[in-house]
Structure 1
Amino acid sequence: MQGLAAAERDSTTTPSLRRRLWLWRRGFLSQSDAVYDLEESTYESYVSDYQRYVRTKRINGTWSVALSNKLLFHRVLQPFDERRMTVYGMLRDGTYHSVDSRTPHREVTDGGAASAPAEGRHEPASETANAAQRVVSRLEDEGRLVLKWAHGGGGNNVFLCTDTDDGYRVNDDHYTGAEFRSLVAGLEEYLVCAFVEQGSFATARYPETPNTLRIITMYDDVENEPFIAAAIHRIGTTESAPLDNFTQGGLSASIDLETGELGPGAQPSTDGRVEWHTTHPDTGTPVDGELIPGWERIRAQLLEMADACSFVPYIGWDVIVTGSDGEFRVIEANSYPGLKSIQVHGPLLADERVRRFYERTGVC
């Protein structure tokens, strides 16, 4: 409930008091009024903000930690090593702890060939107190790194780091060497991760951000199989950069679950309303009608992964497409994913299988 109240307090949408009370009694925030088609005859088809913030949190029970702890999730996905992002180490208590720096991945590129691991420093498994220097050395070897907090989601507490000629760039800010070391020294329980290079399809939409697929899987305990409830392609813009978050101004394009075809991109405007784009508003690249490359392979592999994680029945996967024939990496997973970027394309509960899942898990 605290999360709900904080979200309402920070909302830039200001409906009338009467409308706000109507929304609140039905479990919705003011921001949802601008995104969803909420009327007396339609609101029950949407997963409400109350249901999302309070009830979906409970679906995975104690096993939600398998997703909320990013290092643990990295270990859970070990059988699917080629689909994981590389985690070099973790920063904790002022020290650097190596994770899988000894076994760099071979990435499959758009051309279909497996590239050799990047030449870099062989890191010992033991920890060192000079954590900042270890990160600097790795960044200078790789050129780019991602530092992300080991807990929580939503795109917060993520630093995209780039080695430059005159220092370092962190997200959109310039850092001197001393400033960057000071930043790293102050990070607690952050993972030091390889930057996942997206394929040409995602780069063509908007090259300045990683552009991810958000795919929600649910486990049907009647049919004893996972299924995909919804999928979108999140695409960054000048407003959302350096990330692709919908709530920060990025695009959300629906994905046809059978064909992988994109719909038009939805984008929240400054007044909280939604604008729709058939082409990218900054690059002019087509969005509506484009096909996710290798979608059938992505869908099949992700369902296999969800099946292996059947003890975690509700997962919001964040995926970067790295090639042209279904190659991808999972960069994160969420135990109770945000739904505005999903339901802007239509209410989830209109799908009977999705509704049954939420009913069986006590969400609605």
Structure 2
Amino acid sequence: MSIRSLYHTARGLQGLATAEYESPSTPSLRRRLWLWRRGFVSQSDAVYELEEATSEEYLSDYQRYVRTKRINGTWSVALSNKLLFHRVLQPFADRRMGVYGMIRDGTFHAVDSSAVCRELPDGGPAVSASADGDRETATDAYNAAQRVVERLEDEDRLVLKWVHGGGGNNVYLCHRIDDGYQVNDDHYTEAAFRSLVAGLDEYLVCEFVDQGSFAADLYPETPNTLRIITMYDEVANEAFIATAIQRIGTADSAPLDNFTQGGLSAEIDLETGELGAGAQPPDGDGVEWHTTHPDTGTPVEGVSVPGWDQIREQILEIADTCSFVPYIGWDVIVTGSDGAFRVIEANSYPGLKSIQVHGPLLADDRVRRFYERTGVC
């Protein structure tokens, strides 16, 4: 085993141990030993209701934390580095979110911005020229806090996300309000907000993608994303969708829609786009199932993702183009009623509790063959 493989195995085992330590479920020691021998942490037992006869149909936590990390190999960086991923999606620019720039150690570096820095002919200080012809000194042009404040003056909302982050961590949803700024659920004065931005390092300044009425109606207080897992079938030479869910935020998970933080996961019928009931992670002994949203009463079960056929086909087209990365968990926001969507980000080893709460992945023969070919099981 290479040093790189040993490193990732060690990191995976560390993640597995942390997941067990942080699990809110407390089965008996005898039950825990039964779970550990099969590669599961305690929380999975509460989500999956594991039994001897069916436990081998679930992808275990050990397989997820340790082995799925190896599937994409060195190309996993194409997903884990959000700026690189943004570049990978260049052929599908209309389907990706805008990235205005990156913050590094308090300075702003343009990515999709029209700002261009140059030297004055007489050797004077560098200036920036924006689309409207305004000229500023280099100090202003590269000051991250200033650039973010200016962008918020134009657009009211944006997202700051760590280049290397995942799982909804290290994400700041920023909103300009009358008396300052709202970041996630916290209020900031302008001075405090500028200080926050100035202290960030390797954060992307991203467009806030407005979700369409379908997603907003599910729960208006959070972005509500699709999680679509694609796998590349090397025998058929094509990508396929293994599974898909609609994630829906709640008062527990706000300002995000993460299942592990209390959001809902509703399975999507891959043929019709229809949602099943929404599962909510256990705050005790078992999963709660909701046919309507627990906070608003909005219907969940039976509603359909608008333009699902178009979304499914284009995600497959993008996944085929990225065949060198065979295992991808796509996060998608539906922005219109005709199949319009934006890819927010992608994951190289997506979490599986929000997926397998609806049933074991390995019960699908094509999915099992993929995991077997890639050495996961």
Query: TM-score normalized by structure 1?
Result: 0.93
Instruction: Tell me the equivalent position of 2:187.
Output: 174
Kindly state the Cα deviation for residue 271 of structure 1 after the two structures are TM-superposed.
Answer: 1.6
Aligned to 1:22: 34
> What is the rounded CA distance, in whole Å, between the counterparts of 1:281 and 1:361 in structure 2?
39
Number of residue pairs aligned between Structure 1 and Structure 2: 350
- SS across alignment from 2:267: strand
* Residue 12 of structure 1 pairs with residue 12 of structure 2: no
Q: Check the 8 A contact 1:261/1:289 in 2, yes or no.
A: yes
Determine if the alignment matches structure 1 residue 214 to structure 2 residue 194. no
Shift of 1:336: 0.2
Distance in 2 of aligned mates of 1:21 and 1:64: 32
Q: Give the corresponding residue for 2:48.
A: 36
| Cα distance change on mapping 1:133 and 1:127 into 2, 3 Å | closer
Q: Which residue of 2 aligns with 1:64?
A: 76
1:97, 1:125 within 8 Å by CA — same for their partners in 2?
no
Counterparts of 1:207 and 1:125 in 2: how far apart (Å)?
40
Answer with 70-79 or 125-134: which moved more. 125-134
Q: Is the aligned partner of 1:87 residue 2:81? A: no
Secondary structure in 1 aligned to 2:276? strand
Aligned partners of 1:31 and 1:272 also within 8 Å: no
Q: Please tell me whether residue 77 in structure 1 is matched to residue 89 in structure 2.
A: yes
Aligned to 1:190: 203
Residue type at the aligned position of 2:51: E
2:58 to 37, 46, 57: 46
Amino acid at match of 1:355: R
In structure 1, how many angstroms separate the alpha carbons of the residues matched to 2:105 and 2:292? 46
Q: Which runs of 4+ in 1 moved over 6 A?
A: 118-127
Q: Quote the offset at 1:268 in angstroms.
A: 1.2
Q: Distance in 1 between matches of 2:333 and 2:296?
A: 20
Q: Distance in 1 between matches of 2:236 and 2:136?
A: 46
**Larger CA deviation: 269-278 vs 209-218:** 269-278
Aligned to 1:334: 347
Task: For residue 241 of structure 2, give the secondary structure of its aligned residue in structure 1.
Answer: strand
Deviations for 1:156-189, whole angstroms, at most 9, x for unmatched residues? Answer: 0000000000000000000001110111011110
- 1:1-364 → structure 2 map (5 Å cutoff): 1-102=13-114, 128-271=141-284, 273-364=286-377
Q: Which has the larger radius of gyration?
A: 2
- Unpaired stretches in structure 1, ≥5 consecutive residues: 104-117
What's the C-alpha RMSD, in Å, of the aligned pairs?
A: 1.9
Alignment identity in percent?
A: 80
TM-score by length of 2: 0.90
Inter-partner Cα distance in structure 2 for 1:51 and 1:120: 55
The secondary structure found in structure 1 opposite 2:192 is helix
Distance in 1 of aligned mates of 2:138 and 2:160? 19
Q: 1:344 to 1:6 in 2, by over 3 A?
A: same
Distance in 2 between residues matched to 1:329 and 1:125, nearest whole Å? 33
> Partner of 2:6 in structure 1?
none
Note the residue ranges of structure 2 that are not aligned, 5 or more in a row: 1-12, 116-130
Three-state SS of the structure 1 residue aligned to 2:325 is coil
Distance between the aligned counterparts of 1:216 and 1:135, measured in 2?
A: 33
| Maintained 8 Å contact 2:47/2:282 | no
Kindly indicate whether the alpha-carbon contact (under 8 Å) linking 2:267 and 2:278 is maintained by their aligned counterparts in 1.
Answer: yes
Taking a change above 3 Å as real, the CA distance of residues 346 and 171 of structure 1, as seen in their structure-2 partners, is same
Preserved contact between residue 98 and residue 124 of structure 1 (Cα < 8 Å): no
Contact 1:145 1:193 (8 Å CA) reproduced? yes
